[in-house]
Structure formats: C-alpha cells, structure tokens
Amino acid sequence: MAPDRNRRRIPDATVSRLPVYLRILAEQSAEGVDNVSSERLAELAGVNAAKVRKDLSYLGSYGTRGVGYEVDYLMYQVRRELGLTHDWPVVIVGAGNLGQALAGHGGFGERGFPIGGIVDIDETKVGTVLGGVRVRHIDELPQIVQTKRVNIGVVATPGANAQDAADRLVKAGVTSILNFAPIVLSVPRSIEVRKVDLAVELQILSYYEQRRAGGSIHVVPGDPSRSATA
C-alpha cells in the first residue's frame, strides 16, 4: 500500500507505448466500455498481453484480478504519468509546407498540445495565418516561449535551417524538441529530442520490400562478389 512517491523510472520502451494505450482507452471509454482486460488491450494495441501488464505495472497496481482494468481510472493514471494533466503549448519553427500542415492539423490542441506560436525566418510569411495562429518572425521566439511558457519546440524547417532553428529554440528556453528535418540535431545533452523522418521510414520499408523481392535480383556488374565468409 501507500503509493510510493518514489518516482519509479519507467523504461523508455514502456513510455513509448503508453500513449498508444491511452488512445485506445479513450476510444473504449467513448464507446461506453468501462472495463478492459490486458488481453483485450493487447489485441487493440497489437502487442503481447504480458507486455501490457508489465507496462501498466510500472504505474502501480491499478488493475483488479479476475476483472481487468477500469477504463476511466486507468486512463487517468496513464495521463498523469505522461504529464498530460495539463496542456503543453508548443511552438513551431518553420511555416512551410510541413509547418502549415501541422498547424492546420487541429489534432494538436485537442490532444493537449495547443500551438503557442508559429515562427518563420522568411519575412514574407510573417503575418499570414495558419490554423488560427498568426505567423511571427523567428526573432520573436524568446518572447513567445517566455510568455506562453512553452517547453516543447517543433522543427519544421528545411534541413539546412534545422540546426539554427534548434539552436534558437534551446536559447529561448525550450527543453524538448520534435524534429522533422532530415538531419541529426546537435543540442545540449539535457535537451530531449525526438526525430520524425519520412525519408528514413520509407527507406526502411524499401529494405524490407527489396528483401521480400528475393534480394538477389538486380545484380550489378562490377560488383566484387565476396566469398561466403559468414
């Protein structure tokens, strides 16, 4: 008993699955389901049931043996653990194609990440309105971060400007960055960075496609075929 205030550290792999469970729980709740088993949850999340139980056990013992997990209660616990009991405003750097799509997406605010601001370095883009937010100049970044209490920055610039964008975000006080540019950002170790790279994802798929195709097609002349040394 006595829920340890001792902050258990949750494994990274588990942290990355919690949002998935959360969304599923929300769906179930919306459908009027008020109890789920780890088996059912696992099925919906496409993972192993034991993994679900172990993941959830890191939050505490919130299930009932022989019954399962109460949806709303568990949902609240996951939210709390993920720090989603309050909003996290984000600032988007780059009002190009991607920045516009992100701003217009709408799903951000709904999920607890309202857009605190969008900035761009291009003067001609400043003043236009995206997703209900006016694009401001990148020099205003520090002010936006301060006044809106922004902790999370989104880099949606071309690769060439991404490092500069990240530097400015860090300098402005942001401590987490979601990077959409196809480069490896160099930031202080204390800054948490997550990367989303479409080209990388496609190339990974390409690998498995190529492998599926048999792998040995497309023999290129001049390739020094190596003997089978493992």
Partner DNA sequence: TGGGCTTTGTGAACGCGTGCACGAGTGCCT
Partner DNA sequence: AGGCACTCGTGCACGCGTTCACAAAGCCCA
Site for a second copy in 11-30 (CB under 8 A): 15-16, 18-20, 22-24
CB of 198 to DNA, least distance (A): 21
Site for a second copy in 82-121 (CB under 8 A): 82-86, 88, 90, 97-98, 100-102, 104-105, 107-108, 111-113
Whole-number Å distance between alpha carbons of 32 and 38: 18
Contact flag: residue 216 with a second copy (CB under 8 A): yes
Contact flag: residue 7 with a second copy (CB under 8 A): yes
- Residue 91 is inside which H or E element, if any? strand 90-93
Strand partners of residue 210: none
121 vs 196 by CB, closer to a second copy: 196
Site for a second copy in 141-170 (CB under 8 A): 149, 151-152
Whole-number Å distance between alpha carbons of 177 and 166: 8
55 vs 120 by CB, closer to DNA: 55
161, 199, 157, 160: which is closest to 178 by C-alpha? 157
Judged by CB under 8 A, which of 35, 45, 109, 140 binds a second copy?
45
Angle between helix 38-45 and 49-57 (nearest 10): 110
